Structure 1
Amino acid sequence: MAQNSESYAALDLGSNSFHLLIASFQDDKLRIIDRHKDMVRLAAGLNDDGYLSEAAQQRGLDSLAKIANRLRGVPREQIRIVGTNTLRAARNAREFMAKAEALLGAPINIISGTEEARLVYLGVANDLAIDDKKRLVIDIGGGSTELVAGLHSPRLLESLGMGCVSFSMRYFPDGSLSEKAFKRAVNAARQLVAPHVEQFKGHWQEVVGSSGTNRSISKILGELNLCDSGHITRDGMEALKQALLSADNIKAANIKGLSDDRRDVFAGGFAVLYALFLEMEFTELHTSTYATREGIVYDLAGRLHHRDKREETIRQLSEQYRIDTAQGERVAALCVNWLPSIADSINSSYQEAEKLLRWAAQLHELGLAIAHGGFHKHGAYILSNADMPGFSRQEQARLSALVLNHRRKPKPGESTGAHPDWLLICLLRLACIFYRRRQNIKLDKHIKLTSPNPQLLELHIPDSWLDNNPLSAADLQDEADILKKTLDIELRITATV
């Protein structure tokens, strides 16, 4: 199949369903090329010990085998696959992801709840008219619910551990329905929402609901002539509650417009939305057809056209922790200058490797805001655990590994959750040595680096520079010993005329 260089693909591996969207842009608006959805019920396979069952994994893999065929016409760098709540929580997620990535031929990015919320808002915002209304966006997924408030961009983001699959399994097992069970589910959801109500007050003028639960409820209320199309009201919710609880089991519930593929998880999702109506005290919402996957496409297009949210996040961290940006830029420039010499030996695309290396250089002194002793460890901890808009957990882990290992002895056995690319780390370590005195000069004209093979780095340094910088020369000799002992990488220093 010929590749369409103008197409983008977003694959959302949700807790309830897998959604594929392939689209292009026309006048800055999405033009849908293909959609595909499978109700995988991944969250239903998560046991009490946090392990994803073999059956659930197989359902997911069967779905992805079909989806992989549809991705073949999209350039690899224009595909983004994200995993949400269930893959965040599953203790054996890596086992499933390894099989899934082999099928898809592209990496899966696990994103945090707040990053999921940001992408939801980005998608919904591009579905609505451009105006000055502050909005509360509610996205009820299979395992989590995202609340986002903002104007033209999100300002408040929360991800709560309640979803249509998890709540249906917990409070309505095997589809059983009762007033008592419904009240328990609603109270549980209200308890999760309550701590966040005050911070959201005054930050929205209208409420928008996205994803399957909201659209399903809206469709049913329209079929029953209880609400206008695309709307959900408090009165409509009350009427639908009575219709739902008139049956003893969801399988027997005679609700016009309730689809078979939504029926098993409807009660849990309905209870979550009902609780939000009560706790957040809104009286109506309207639904959007856009959600996480549309947000992913807009975000991906931004990355490829110089509107990368991650760049803004790096700038904000630099400002927040008062990093010496001039020093970070000096180190970054030298690293990026050397990168082509190891390009054939790195474990990721050149473009992403360049960005990660540059960002790590810009943030390598992040931990100094906490303490000078062990500041590389403090910086790595922040990068592993902070909410970093635009970044996946894997990207944060790789960034953390670079910062953790930029000084002192590298720690091959100490993982930040990533598989460190040690040659990238070597470049960062060497650049930090050369700019240890924080001198405001460009060194890339004088210092050349080559790498004949992945286990050998050669530095070509003018003899006069070595004579004029004896402490740096000594540091480089020490570094050669460290790299050989810890990483089995030879650093060869050659004096030039």
Structure 2
Amino acid sequence: MADVSPPDIKRGAERKKGGTSGTVADFRYKRPSQPEKRKQSTLRRSGSHGAHNAKPVRTGERRQAFAALDLGTNNCRLLIARPSGENFTVIDAFSRVVRLGEGLAASGKLSDAAMERTLAALHVCAEKLKRRNVHLARSVATEACRRATNGADFIARVREETGIALDIISAQEEARLAVLGCHILLEDGEGPAVVFDIGGGSTELVLIEPGGPVPRILDWLSVPWGVVSLTDSVAPPGGSDEDRRARYASMRKLVDDSFAPFVERVAPVARQAKHVRLLGTSGTVTTLASLHLELPHYDRQAVDGLIVPSDSMRDICRRLATMSAAERKTVPCIGEDRARMVVAGCAILESILDIWPARDLAVADRGIREGILRSLIAANSQGQQSRSEIQSQRDDL
């Protein structure tokens, strides 16, 4: 699946329903804490990403920083990390809602206002990249720039004004990176599983065969429905519950129709699987998981790696779909930014639960950026090893 194997090996951590799972890299959005604090965090939560089993870090390796920037239809996100044995530790991060794809469904173009918002965020990212002395970086743009007629022009403008070279990646590459970044959080089990990423402008579904550091992709599908594109493509509802239910049904039909080819291919696999496993990465699933936990504020430590009953997610989806936008704004962990678009995310999620009827849903607050970081660090490590072998051969001559 991947060009190189990521520096991540799944440990034999215990998993429990409604709890956390996985012991992987340190993704905490802060500098590494003191050893005693890290130990306590690991004991409290097995999925807290502490690199407590990491190999010793070489001095040269510690100084190197790697960066991953993901410019999506709705968000601009950056992670900067340093290798830590087989894993890595995040030393800086940035995330901002930029709504780059706002109005794209109607006009086919990125609006001036959206581009200005995004450029402001990218200037912040550029400053962080300079300050952290990044050794290797990869910056990607996804569905909004793929679809917009002025997407390539915007990419050129970003390069000129910020120095950031954005790569407009294919939907297949987007799916691959998302899987690479989060597959470690799948529940233990045998047989294929589905990983999905509900973005702002598209949704990727990936059927994988887990095993080893990199799962094998068996099948995949990308559809142009994300929380922004689906919201903008279905007319706002009237003021009644009936109007809101009708709009939600329209969203479900659009998504169901676009998923139909994938459904036909994977339905036999789902029927034959002994344990149907499902993992989701997106703001939609992390938000709904927060509501399931009844959190007053979003807490990544509590959500990332959580296993939630699918029925609970469906109940939350249907409650949100019949609320007005004003009511949704008052719900903890939704707020004004997500109040307008979370219903579209719910419609997409319910369609996915119909396709792959897992009893539980594993939730990941990680994805493309982490996949990029793993690829960069692994490629750099392999390059260093190759250079070392060449030098050794020269010394022997």
Q: TM-score, normalised by structure 2?
A: 0.69
Does residue 167 of structure 2 align to residue 104 of structure 1? no
- d(CA) in 2 for partners of 1:46 and 1:271? 20
Does residue 263 of structure 2 align to residue 197 of structure 1? yes
Secondary structure in structure 2 of the residue aligned to 1:106: coil
> Cα offset for 1:213?
1.2
Of residues 78-87 and 119-128 in structure 1, the stretch that sits farther from structure 2 once superposed is: 119-128
After superposition, the Cα gap between the structure-2 partners of 1:87 and 1:175, relative to the gap in structure 1 and judged at 3 Å, is: farther
Does residue 292 of structure 2 align to residue 221 of structure 1? yes
Tell me which of 326, 333, 344 is aligned to 1:251: 326
The answer as to whether partners of 1:121 and 1:291 remain within 8 angstroms in 2 is: yes
**Correspondence 1:377-396 to 2 at 5 A:** none
Does residue 230 of structure 2 align to residue 167 of structure 1? yes
After superposition, the Cα gap between the structure-2 partners of 1:197 and 1:307, relative to the gap in structure 1 and judged at 3 Å, is: farther
Does residue 351 of structure 2 align to residue 285 of structure 1? no
2:56 is matched with: none
> Cα offset for 1:80?
0.6
After superposition, the CA RMSD in angstroms is 2.8
Secondary structure in structure 2 of the residue aligned to 1:44: coil
1:51 is matched with: 109
**Correspondence 1:372-411 to 2 at 5 A:** none
The answer as to whether partners of 1:175 and 1:264 remain within 8 angstroms in 2 is: no
> Cα offset for 1:214?
1.1
The answer as to whether partners of 2:108 and 2:149 remain within 8 angstroms in 1 is: yes
Of residues 167-176 and 134-143 in structure 1, the stretch that sits farther from structure 2 once superposed is: 167-176
The answer as to whether partners of 1:45 and 1:55 remain within 8 angstroms in 2 is: no
The answer as to whether partners of 1:171 and 1:182 remain within 8 angstroms in 2 is: no
Question: What amino acid is the match of 1:291?
Answer: G
After superposition, the Cα gap between the structure-2 partners of 1:134 and 1:183, relative to the gap in structure 1 and judged at 3 Å, is: same
1:140 is matched with: 198
**Correspondence 1:176-195 to 2 at 5 A:** 178-195=244-261
Does residue 299 of structure 2 align to residue 234 of structure 1? no
- d(CA) in 1 for partners of 2:64 and 2:144? 31
Secondary structure in structure 2 of the residue aligned to 1:48: helix
1:274 is matched with: 350
How much identity, in percent, do the aligned residues show? 29
The answer as to whether partners of 1:243 and 1:255 remain within 8 angstroms in 2 is: no
2:216 is matched with: 154
The answer as to whether partners of 1:14 and 1:85 remain within 8 angstroms in 2 is: yes
After superposition, the Cα gap between the structure-2 partners of 1:188 and 1:71, relative to the gap in structure 1 and judged at 3 Å, is: same
Question: What amino acid is the match of 2:327?
Answer: A
> Cα offset for 1:5?
4.4
- d(CA) in 2 for partners of 1:98 and 1:174? 38
The answer as to whether partners of 1:4 and 1:74 remain within 8 angstroms in 2 is: no
1:348 is matched with: none
> Cα offset for 1:282?
2.8
2:79 is matched with: 21
Secondary structure in structure 1 of the residue aligned to 2:131: coil
Tell me which of 273, 279, 283 is aligned to 1:212: 283
Of residues 228-237 and 141-150 in structure 1, the stretch that sits farther from structure 2 once superposed is: 228-237
Question: What amino acid is the match of 1:266?
Answer: V
Secondary structure in structure 2 of the residue aligned to 1:261: helix
Does residue 121 of structure 2 align to residue 63 of structure 1? yes
Unaligned segments of structure 2, at least 5 residues: 1-60, 297-301, 385-397
Q: How big is each residue's C-alpha offset from its partner over 1:440-493, in whole Å with a ceiling of 9 and x where there is no partner?
A: xxxxxxxxxxxxxxxxxxxxxxxxxxxxxxxxxxxxxxxxxxxxxxxxxxxxxx
- d(CA) in 2 for partners of 1:126 and 1:34? 22
Q: How big is each residue's C-alpha offset from its partner over 1:163-214, in whole Å with a ceiling of 9 and x where there is no partner?
A: 0111122225389760100001011111111210233342773111112111
After superposition, the Cα gap between the structure-2 partners of 1:242 and 1:289, relative to the gap in structure 1 and judged at 3 Å, is: closer
The answer as to whether partners of 1:7 and 1:78 remain within 8 angstroms in 2 is: yes
After superposition, the Cα gap between the structure-2 partners of 1:199 and 1:74, relative to the gap in structure 1 and judged at 3 Å, is: farther
> Cα offset for 1:13?
0.3
Structure label with greater radius of gyration: 1
Q: How many residues align?
A: 303
Question: What amino acid is the match of 1:200?
Answer: V
Of residues 31-40 and 199-208 in structure 1, the stretch that sits farther from structure 2 once superposed is: 199-208
- d(CA) in 2 for partners of 1:291 and 1:175? 36
After superposition, the Cα gap between the structure-2 partners of 1:13 and 1:216, relative to the gap in structure 1 and judged at 3 Å, is: same
2:94 is matched with: 36
1:113 is matched with: 171
> Cα offset for 1:139?
0.6
Question: What amino acid is the match of 1:71?
Answer: L
The answer as to whether partners of 1:7 and 1:23 remain within 8 angstroms in 2 is: yes
Question: What amino acid is the match of 2:232?
Answer: M
1:324 is matched with: none
After superposition, the Cα gap between the structure-2 partners of 1:74 and 1:105, relative to the gap in structure 1 and judged at 3 Å, is: farther
**Correspondence 1:340-419 to 2 at 5 A:** none
After superposition, the Cα gap between the structure-2 partners of 1:258 and 1:147, relative to the gap in structure 1 and judged at 3 Å, is: same
> Cα offset for 1:67?
1.3
The answer as to whether partners of 2:317 and 2:343 remain within 8 angstroms in 1 is: no
- d(CA) in 2 for partners of 1:29 and 1:72? 23
1:9 is matched with: 67
- d(CA) in 2 for partners of 1:74 and 1:89? 32
Instruction: Kindly report structure 1 stretches of 4+ aligned residues shifted beyond 6 Å.
Output: 174-177
Secondary structure in structure 1 of the residue aligned to 2:83: strand
- d(CA) in 2 for partners of 1:43 and 1:141? 11
Question: What amino acid is the match of 2:216?
Answer: P
Question: What amino acid is the match of 1:142?
Answer: G
- d(CA) in 1 for partners of 2:312 and 2:188? 28
The answer as to whether partners of 2:198 and 2:345 remain within 8 angstroms in 1 is: yes
**Correspondence 1:474-485 to 2 at 5 A:** none
After superposition, the Cα gap between the structure-2 partners of 1:233 and 1:15, relative to the gap in structure 1 and judged at 3 Å, is: same
> Cα offset for 1:95?
2.0
> Cα offset for 1:277?
1.2
- d(CA) in 2 for partners of 1:104 and 1:136? 37
